[in-house]
Structure 1
Amino acid sequence: MIPQQLRTRLTELTGVRHPVVQTGMGWVAGPRLVSGTANAGGLGILAGATMTLTELEQAIIEVMGRTDAPFGVNVRADAADARARCDLLIEYGVRVASFALAPTPELMARLKEHDIVVIPSVGLAKHARKVAGWGADAVMIQGGEGGGHTGSVPTSLLLPTVLDAVDIPVIAAGGYFDGRGLAAALACGAAGIGMGTRFLLTADSAVPEAVKRFYLGHDLNGTVVTDKVDGMPHRMLRTPLVEQIEESSRLRRLSPTLRRTLEFKRASGMSWRELAVDGRAMRKAQGRSLAQMTLAANTPTMLKAGLVDGDTGAGVLAAGQVVGVLDDLPTCEELIDRVVLRAVAELRRAAGSIV
């Protein structure tokens, strides 16, 4: 475990040693991965969005039993119980609240009253300006290279536009996997980097070993962005199942979607009324059509099938394009140490070339 090498606005804001964030990937970022990241000096984000309220509380307690270092929790801002989830963060003194969508100004203010760092994720400069105006402490941006739900603008263009738009720390994600990327992001003006797929493919990740090896077998053309799974652009591994979904008609996708809705209802313990309230909130927050909302039930169950149950034939596997350049499964400590040391070396080399 290396001492602090790089001091940035992110390390000062959150109290972590290194400006490296493990993103809150659903079904992936559990207590073992988050605590492994935290103990290695990075900022681990717990994937609260795919947990029930009770599961989230148990996961927070488990992380706190594994590490004394700061960590964060990802919360779905449009969830019907978002306030109750934020109350858990306040009760247990969680350092960072991460949001895939912008929380309301009221929810943000409540968290900040209790000294919790609020970091929403944004996909455009105008969204960064809005949440900064509401009091966000930092923002995370993800370019189109990233896995899961993503946009079309590459990180290399999205990052400078957001940096120009706000004065708060900006964390860059999408396409990062090593120290060269961290050095480039810091040189551009970012306060740190976020990595998802790279942390998924570590020894500390709870994803089944066979699934990790399946990921490592894909090259730079091994991912595809599709909106056929849940109605929104989603980058995932190119598999026979995904190819089949891509080619199928909306009518043929209806029956599996209804089945997965029932599976999600059983797994979440939510009533039909709670599902409807949750769906309306998501539709309002994200501007999804009714057809897109119907497809949205696919995501949790299909991701769980692949990432938890290990069924690569029945599940979808979110992945960033970096999957094509990864070939090992280091521990979080090994990964963060080599990312930081390489970044320091690259920054020194670049500085030494200035005349």
Structure 2
Amino acid sequence: MSTKLTQLLEIKYPIIQAPMFLVSNTAMVIEAMKCGIAGCIPALNYRTLEELRAAIIELKKAKVAGGSFGFNLIVNKSNIKYKEQLRILCEEGCDFIITSLGSPEETINQAHRVGIKVFCDVVDLKFAQKVEGLGADAVIAVNNQAGGHRGNLSPENLIKELVSNCQIPIISAGGVGRKADIDTMLSYGAAGVSVGSPFIASVEANVTDEYKQACVEYGAEDIVMTERISGTPCTVINTPYVQKIGTKATWLESVLNKHKKLKKWVKMIRFSIGMNATKNAATKVTYKTVWVAGPSIEHTHSILPVKAIVKRLIE
């Protein structure tokens, strides 16, 4: 399965195990590399810079031929750790960085100096061309089938539009749970895929068994959009608790979000509350089940080791 992505990262298969907040860890990425794909972890999954450094060192020691590893960076002002996280990544080294939610210019410049490739999350052509102009090595095209904060365009429309107007490789994110889905994305012109939700129900994931089992028991029709986590629409499993609290912002939040001086603080408070709820649901037994996932859990029928999930994606 040779593509521009396999050539860029020197991997066997054009698959990135997507970075997932709270879910991704070194054990998952190590198994991914053993299977001949790339793995990525959000830098924010580590509370301290020393924990991040230790993870990089662990992954460098475990790296095998045909595998690759990287980290995801939130590159806007909301991530006060961003600059120091970037410094640690450049000091220790990794194969690639995926940027989200902000301008990747500084990341691209610093990472390229030490030989690290940079891929950038985009949801439309405007931003894809912008990051290409800044020197990105590839774009992660986040479509409307992705889990978490998704795009608005279908995989076919987004991939074909970007492929027709960009010179760098297009990596599709969203809607992949089996090999047939990968074949479809590649047929549209994608150089590879970024796959997240199917790996939530992996043995190696650090989330609760209840979260993993939910990905087994629920399917694509059970995924809904909610504004109650970060203030920005996000996909979650439609559990009884989600149904109880609703998916729309409260009337007070809606009013305050229109206030020029207050909306910034309202969003920050909503984000903090939502992230705390998501963390508790993922790591503790609680009735407040706010589980982030995408429709590709449709093909998750049991909790499996990472290597078995990769096998489903390549065979």
Alignment TM-score, normalising by the size of structure 1: 0.79
- Aligned-pair CA distance for 1:247: 6.5
Q: Which residue identity is paired with 1:223?
A: I
- Residue 64 (structure 1) aligned to one of 60, 63, 68: 60
CA 1:142–1:191 in structure 2 vs 1: closer, same or farther (change >3 Å)?
same
Q: Could you tell me which amino acid in structure 2 is paired with residue 54 of structure 1?
A: E
Secondary structure of 2:221 counterpart: coil
TM-score, structure 2 length as denominator?
0.89
User: 1:250 corresponds to which residue?
Assistant: 250
Counterpart CA distance in 2 for 1:306 and 1:233 is: 18
CA deviation digits over 1:59-81, x for unaligned, max 9? 22333343344200111111223
Contact residue 102 and residue 120 of structure 1 kept, 8 A? no
1:304-323 correspondence runs (5 A): 304-311=279-286, 313-323=287-297
Closer, same or farther: CA 310–25 of 1 in aligned 2, 3 Å = farther
- Structure-2 residue corresponding to 1:299: 274
Which residue matches 1:176? 176
Q: Take 1:310 and 1:12, find their aligned partners in 2: how far apart are those partners?
A: 43
Q: Structure 2, unaligned stretches of length 5 or more? A: 255-262
- Alpha-carbon contact 2:253-2:266 (below 8 Å) kept: no
The answer for the alignment partner of 2:73 in structure 1 is 75
Q: Is the 8 A contact 1:103 1:120 kept in 2?
A: no
Whether 2:133 is the aligned partner of 1:133: answer yes
Q: 1:70 to 1:250 in 2, by over 3 A?
A: same
Counterpart AA for 1:337 = K
For residues 74 and 228 of structure 1, the distance between their equivalents in structure 2, rounded to whole angstroms, comes to 24
Q: Could you tell which deviates more after superposition, 116-125 or 293-302?
A: 293-302
Match of 1:94, SS?
coil
Among the aligned pairs, what percent are the same residue? Answer: 24
Q: Helix, strand or coil: the match of 1:193?
A: strand
Tell me the alpha carbon deviations over residues 142-183 of structure 1, each in whole angstroms, 9 at most, x when there is no partner: 211111111332222221112122110111011101111111
Question: What one-letter code is carried by the residue in structure 2 that aligns with 1:111?
Answer: A
Aligned partner letter, 1:76: I
User: What pairs up with 1:1-355 in 2 under 5 angstroms?
Assistant: 6-52=1-47, 53-68=49-64, 69-78=67-76, 79-246=79-246, 250=250, 289-311=264-286, 313-341=287-315
State the AA in 2 paired with 1:147: G
CA contact (8 A) 2:228 2:249 kept: no
- Report the RMSD for the aligned CA atoms in angstroms: 2.1
Q: What per-residue deviation string (whole Å, max 9, x for no partner) do you get for residues 188-226 of structure 1? A: 111111111111122222222232112211132211101
Aligned length: 302
Q: Is the 8 A contact 1:128 1:165 kept in 2?
A: no
Q: Is the 8 A contact 1:237 1:316 kept in 2?
A: yes
Distance 1:102 1:117, change over 3 A: farther
* Offset, 1:320: 0.4
**Structure of greater relative contact order (alpha carbons < 8 Å, 6+ residues apart):** 1
Would you say the 8 A contact 2:208–2:282 is kept in 1?
A: yes
Q: State the 4+ residue runs in structure 1 displaced beyond 6 angstroms.
A: 251-254
Judge which range, 291-300 or 234-243, deviates more: 291-300
Bigger-Rg structure (1/2): 1
In 1, Cα distance between equivalents of 2:298 and 2:285? 20
Cα distance change of structure 1 residues 162 and 248 upon mapping to structure 2, 3 Å threshold: closer
In structure 2, the partner of 1:264 is: none
CA distance in 2, matches of 1:299, 1:43: 29
Which deviates more, 202-211 or 314-323?
Answer: 202-211
Distance change >3 Å, CA 184–CA 104, structure 1 → 2: closer
Cα distance in 1 for residues equivalent to 2:283 and 2:292: 12
How far apart in 2 are the matches of 1:221 and 1:35? 32
